[in-house]
Structure 1
Amino acid sequence: MICTLYSHHIGFDKIIESVENSYPQSIITSSNQNGSQIATIEIKGGFLSSGSKLTIVYREREQPSYQIPDTDECPLTGNLRGLYGYVDSLYSKNEKIKALFLHKIQTLNSEFSISQDKGQTKDLKDFIKKLAKDQEAILFVQPKTIISKSDGQHFLDENLDLLLDNDGNCEVENLDVKIKSAYYDKESEVITEEQKQWKTASEKILQEKEIKINKYLPYIEAEEEVVLRTPKEIAQRVCILAITNLVSFNTISNEEATEYLQTYNLWDFVTPNEKDFLANPTEQKKSHESWKCECIWVLMFALNKVQELGFPDELCSLNDIPEEEYPVGPDKDPNDFINSVFNARSKSEILALNDLYYRLDWACVDARLNGQEMTTVHPGVVYERHYALNWLISYSEAEWDDVTCDT
Structure 2
Amino acid sequence: MICTLYSHQIGFDKIVETLKSSYPKASVEISHQAGSQTASVDVKGGLLSSGSRFTIQYREREEPSYQIPDTDNCALTGNLRGLYGYVDSLHSKNEKIKSLFLQKIQTINSEFSINQEKGETKDLKELIQKLAKDFEAVLFVQPKTIISKADQQHFLDQNLDLLLDNNGDCDVENLEVKINSIYYDKQPEVITEEQKKWKTDSEKILQERAIKINKYLPFIEAEEDVVLRTPREIAERICVLAMTNLVAFNTISSEEATEYLQNYNLWDVVTPNEKDFLANPTEQKKSSESWKCECIWVLMFALNKIDDLGFPDVLCSLNDIAEEDYPVGPDKDPNDFINSVFNAKSKNEILAINDLYYRLDWACVDARLNGEEMTEVHPGVVYERHYALNWLINYGEADWDDVTCDT
What is the TM-score normalised by the length of structure 1?
0.62
1:46-195 equivalent positions in 2, closer than 5 A: 57=56, 59=58, 64=64, 72=104, 82-83=133-134, 179=182, 183-186=184-187, 188-195=188-195
**Are residue 39 (structure 1) and residue 75 (structure 2) matched?**
no
Counterpart in 1 of 2:250?
Answer: 250
**Are residue 238 (structure 1) and residue 217 (structure 2) matched?**
no
CA RMSD of aligned residues (A): 3.8
Counterpart in 2 of 1:264?
Answer: 264
Counterpart in 1 of 2:299?
Answer: 299
Query: C-alpha distance in 1, partners of 2:8/2:263?
Result: 55
Amino acid at match of 1:72: K
Counterpart in 2 of 1:285?
Answer: 285
Amino acid at match of 1:312: P
CA contact (8 A) 1:29 1:40 kept: no
Q: Which runs of 5+ in 2 are unaligned?
A: 1-6, 17-27, 43-52, 68-99, 113-127, 138-179
CA contact (8 A) 1:312 1:382 kept: yes
Structure 1 residues 218 and 56, CA gap change in structure 2 (3 angstroms): farther
3-state SS of the aligned residue for 1:361?
A: helix
**Are residue 217 (structure 1) and residue 249 (structure 2) matched?**
no
Query: C-alpha distance in 2, partners of 1:294/1:349?
Result: 18
Q: Which runs of 5+ in 1 are unaligned?
A: 1-5, 16-25, 42-53, 84-104, 109-176
CA contact (8 A) 2:312 2:378 kept: yes
Structure 1 residues 278 and 27, CA gap change in structure 2 (3 angstroms): closer
**Are residue 359 (structure 1) and residue 359 (structure 2) matched?**
yes
Query: C-alpha distance in 1, partners of 2:8/2:397?
Result: 28
3-state SS of the aligned residue for 1:179?
A: helix
Query: C-alpha distance in 1, partners of 2:333/2:181?
Result: 53
Deviation at residue 351 of structure 1 after TM alignment: 0.2
Deviation string 1:242-271 (CA, Å, 9 cap, x unpaired) is 000000000000000000000000000000
CA contact (8 A) 1:30 1:39 kept: no
What is the TM-score normalised by the length of structure 2?
0.62
3-state SS of the aligned residue for 2:206?
A: helix
Deviation at residue 58 of structure 1 after TM alignment: 6.1
Deviation at residue 280 of structure 1 after TM alignment: 0.3
Deviation at residue 401 of structure 1 after TM alignment: 0.2
Structure 1 residues 207 and 278, CA gap change in structure 2 (3 angstroms): same
Deviation string 1:16-72 (CA, Å, 9 cap, x unpaired) is xxxxxxxxxx986679xxx9942359xxxxxxxxxxxx99856467894589x9963
Counterpart in 1 of 2:196?
Answer: 196
Amino acid at match of 1:39: S
Query: C-alpha distance in 1, partners of 2:382/2:268?
Result: 29
**Are residue 396 (structure 1) and residue 399 (structure 2) matched?**
no
3-state SS of the aligned residue for 1:387?
A: helix
Deviation at residue 184 of structure 1 after TM alignment: 2.8
Counterpart in 2 of 1:21?
Answer: none
How much identity, in percent, do the aligned residues show? 70
Counterpart in 2 of 1:314?
Answer: 314
Deviation at residue 189 of structure 1 after TM alignment: 2.5
Query: C-alpha distance in 2, partners of 1:396/1:379?
Result: 22
Larger Rg: 1
Query: C-alpha distance in 2, partners of 1:320/1:255?
Result: 27
Query: C-alpha distance in 2, partners of 1:82/1:370?
Result: 13
Deviation string 1:316-363 (CA, Å, 9 cap, x unpaired) is 000000100000010000000000000000000000000000000000
- Aligned pairs, how many? 283
3-state SS of the aligned residue for 2:261?
A: helix
Amino acid at match of 1:231: P
CA contact (8 A) 2:39 2:57 kept: yes
Deviation string 1:183-211 (CA, Å, 9 cap, x unpaired) is 3332x431000000000000000000000
Structure 1 residues 349 and 280, CA gap change in structure 2 (3 angstroms): same
Query: C-alpha distance in 2, partners of 1:27/1:357?
Result: 46
